[in-house]
Homo-oligomer: A and B are copies of this chain.
Amino acid sequence: TMSSVNKSAHAFDKVRLDSLLNRRFFYAPAFEIYGGVAGLYDYGPAGSSLQANIIAEWRKHFIIEEHMLELDTTIMTPAPVFETSGHVARFADWMVKDTKTGDVLRADHLVKGVLEARLRGDKEARGEIQGPVVEDPKKRKKKGAVEAQKAVKLEDSAVKEYEYILAKLDDYTGPELGDLLTKHTITNPDTSNPVSAPIPFNLMFASSIGPTGQHPGFLRPETAQGHFTNFARLLDFNNGKIPFASAQVGRAFRNEISPRAGLLRVREFTMAEIEHFVDPDDKSHPRFPEIKDVELSLLDKHTQSSGQTTIRTMTLGDAVSQGVIANETLAYFLARISAFLLKIGIHSDKLRFRQHMANEMAHYATDCWDAEIFNHQAGGWTECVGCADRAAYDLSVHAKKTGAPLIVREALREPIVEEKLGAEWKKKELGKAFRGDAAEITKAVDALNEQALVTVQEALEKGSYEVTLASGNKVQLTKEYLSIEKKTIKTSIREYTPNVIEPSFGLGRIMYALLEHSFWAREADIERGVLSLPPLVAPTKVLIVPLSAKEEFVPLVKEVSQKLRRAGIFSNVDDSNTSIGKRYARNDELGTPFGVTLDFASVKNGTMTLRERDTTDQLIGPIDDVIAVVADLVQGNLEWPEACGKLKKYDGVQDA
């Protein structure tokens, strides 16, 4: 029988988690020996490996399972691309400056921090919560834009107003944020100085390409434009058919105004993006029936706009049929996103999907939902995946700017036959009379729509129709040169710009949230932190622990390593000169789910013990049997309780 484990014996302790992540080099501030740079982090061996496993699963779950077309496009991007996409004009956050020190703060974060502090102060004054422990003021300052919490009771109406503002915070424009700062006399909490009106700050890192400095460029703030500019090639690769999706995992950069939230808000990050190209007239999804009964926690835009944050749990079938989610394809991706996050270990009760409100969403978008994950770093919910229906915006603007035909041409099953007005030209006469201008004249008239052609027809009946050439010269056309007649037009091709549904993943945020959700401490000893990472993503799957580094264990360690490798399982050996218990404790911190111990019994009897991280239960059996069980466990074909039925329980003392 399996031991029961109490993972919530100790309250979540962020200080201990941060210490573990730093000490075991999951990640650390980049260029730390140079004092570091805000918003830049390096991943060490444990973090790199965890990230690589998350990416590998992402590739399987999305690219392979859904036959997406993978891309790897450049980060450095010439300015015209982002001028067209709108990023140069609009990819900005609102910042304010401390009017005395010149310190820069992000306007919405300032409003949020101050109002939340006031609400906490109010609760304290009302005796609803305990006041905060008085902190070292130096430390306080470092923590930044949070007004010192004072136990001051607020008017009931103020409480209500603050809660309303916080619920729809993402929906305010820059000037509106400025109004809030003034109305609620919000100052820089670090200095109590007033702040300037919000001004936009473009978040793209700028550089220039080539030795002459003539070609301005930006580091991409998302991978999406690399998909859109390659659309025609991708469509061709897919034999001209849609729907299809492209996918890309890569670095992106945002020059955040004041990054202070660990991995949640960084200046350089790895993201994974999908652009699913779909017929604008048909956003159904063939696999929707498979997910229609999946229930998600939804926070829709109407709820938020009314100042509420109540979550509704509903099936995706209901959400689409009731118009909460715009279409089947969007809903299908929300289900897939949820399945992916749960599979890698995100806790289901800390996952919700929040819909963008009207101002928050780009004007062209039809609908947008964020997968938000609860975490203590943010003290709330953080957007980790965005999923937007961007309509035809991106392809349209690039096509318009470059003239590239970013469209789908589809053979119609039945050609459409229409009666339409059209010009019948007398080419010979036209050529004689107008020579080189003839082509321009025909082009101008042929481009006219039905209604305009009626006007031409009437003008010709009355005498002549005047065309103005590019040169400014005016030309009089008469019936001598053309007539306007009803024509039968047969269309057998439909041309259209596809719509784009874009799921976009911030991998660093997801990884950090996963680390929080995985962290706990042993009931008997708060110092013994454990990361309960699922085997699927754990950096190391199996720790091999020989009793000692002595010669006699070397061949056995080699044998077990090789057998695990052949079974496709990544293992590590810890033969350091310390107790087996300590070695296991050290690897609990790294999230290693299984351990096998090689001791004198192994040498003598060919057995080894198998230890599970969370329960610390141990089983024992012949080496090959244990490896077979481990392989099933790691590949997800077996859960630990079942494994306990397959091997004998071991009551040794290694894991003291």
Contact = CB atoms under 8 A, between A and B. Distances in A.
B211 A104 contact: yes
B257 A31 contact: no
Contacts of A257: 211
21 contacts: A24-B237, A25-B234, A28-B233, A30-B229, A31-B81, A32-B229, A34-B80, A34-B402, A38-B210, A42-B72, A42-B226, A44-B69, A44-B230, A45-B69, A45-B70, A49-B70, A75-B75, A76-B219, A104-B210, A207-B207, A568-B568
A78 interface: yes
Given A95-B211, A211-B95, A398 B72 contact: no
Nearest to A246: B45
Nearest to A37: B78
A64 B233 contact: no
A52 interface: yes
Nearest to A43: B72
Interface in A396-436: 398, 401-402, 404, 406
Contact of A229 (B31, B76, B401, B404): B31
Contact of A81 (B34, B38, B210): B34
Contacts of A497: none
A77 B37 CA distance: 9
A232 interface: yes
Interface string A68-107: 0111111111101100000000000001000000101000
Given A34-B78, A76-B205, A402-B34, A71 B95 contact: no
A37 B72 contact: no
A76 B44 contact: no
A47 interface: yes
B74 A41 contact: yes
Contacts of A44: 69, 71, 230, 233-234, 237
Contact of A201 (B207, B211, B232): B211
A495 to B, nearest CB: 17
Given A44-B237, A211-B257, A255-B210, A268 B69 contact: no
Contacts of A104: 210-212
A576 interface: yes
Interface in A145-191: none
Given A25-B234, A37-B217, A44-B237, 13 more contacts: A30-B74, A30-B229, A32-B230, A33-B232, A42-B73, A42-B230, A43-B73, A48-B72, A75-B253, A76-B219, A95-B211, A206-B207, A239-B576
A362 interface: no
Contacts of A237: 24-25, 44-45
A34 B232 CA distance: 13
A225 B206 CA distance: 22
A399 to B, nearest CB: 8
A276 to B, nearest CB: 15
Given A95-B211, A207-B207, A33 B402 contact: yes
A523 B95 CA distance: 67
A128 interface: no
Interface in A200-225: 201, 205-212, 215, 217, 219
A236 interface: yes
Interface string A1-41: 00000000000000000000000110010111110011011
Contacts of A42: 71-74, 226, 230
A354 interface: no
A356 interface: no
Contact of A251 (B71, B75, B401): B75
Interface string A563-581: 0010010101000100000
B255 A209 contact: yes
Interface residues of A, number: 78
Contacts of A73: 30, 42-43
Given A33-B229, A49-B70, A268 B75 contact: yes
A47 B72 contact: yes
Contacts of A120: none
Top 3 closest pairs, chain A to chain B, by CB: A33-B404, A43-B72, A42-B73
A301 interface: no
Interface string A547-587: 00000000000000000010010101000100000000000
Contacts of A80: 34
A267 interface: yes
A51 interface: yes
Nearest to A572: B67
A95 B213 CA distance: 14
- Listed residue (A34, A234, A401, A568) with the most chain B CB atoms within 10 angstroms of its CB: A34
A237 to B, nearest CB: 5
Contact of A40 (B74, B102, B398): B74
A72 B511 CA distance: 14
A72 B508 CA distance: 12
Contacts of A69: 44-45
Contacts of A406: 33
Nearest to A209: B37
Contacts of A28: 230, 233
Contacts of A205: 76, 207-209
Contacts of A572: 67
Nearest to A236: B25
A74 B230 contact: no
A32 to B, nearest CB: 7
Contacts of A576: 239
Given A34-B402, A239-B576, A255 B78 contact: no
Contacts of A268: 74-76
Contacts of A38: 210
B51 A72 contact: yes
A233 B25 contact: yes
A215 B37 contact: yes
A26 to B, nearest CB: 11
A108 to B, nearest CB: 15
